[in-house]
Amino acid sequence: MQITILFDPDHAHAERVVHALRAILCQTIVCTDIPDTIHALNANPVDVLIVVPSPMDEWTRVVERIRSTVNTMRETPQIVCLLRRNRGIPEERVYASRKGFVVIYER
């Protein structure tokens, strides 16, 4: 079973994502803030980290914290930026891609 961390400040949205991940046999740890996400990354063997962007002014800080944590890990998880349908402004997509995140759009 794949271990996934989901960083999503929106509780209702996180619930829907976890439901979808459960259908493909992912065990998911949900984090709603960056300190919990960093702690979960350091405390668990993780295959995938899914990040749902926060507002752009916080987004760069979130990406930088995640990148600095992942860069110190022996085995780095795949990092996915999940852009919501009603979001996904080009700046978020470009910034995430430049930092090595795989960018996907929610359906």
pTM of the complete model:
0.87
- Cα 18 to its chain centre, rounded Å, is 12
CATH of residue 23's domain is 3.40.50.2300
Q: Using one digit for the tens of pLDDT, what is the confidence trace for 22-80?
A: 999 999 999 999 999 999 999 989 999 999 987 666 778 888 899 999 999 988 999 99
pLDDT digits (tens, 9 = 90+) for 77-106: 999 988 876 555 677 677 778 888 888 888
Please work out, in degrees rounded to the nearest 5, the angle formed at the alpha carbon of residue 106 by the alpha carbons of 18 and 95: 110
Q: Which pair of tokens denotes residue 63? A: 């990406």
- What is the number of structural domains in the chain? 1
Can you give the residue range of the structural domain that contains 53? 2-105
- Provide the strand spans (E) within the chain: 2-7, 26-31, 48-51, 78-83, 102-105
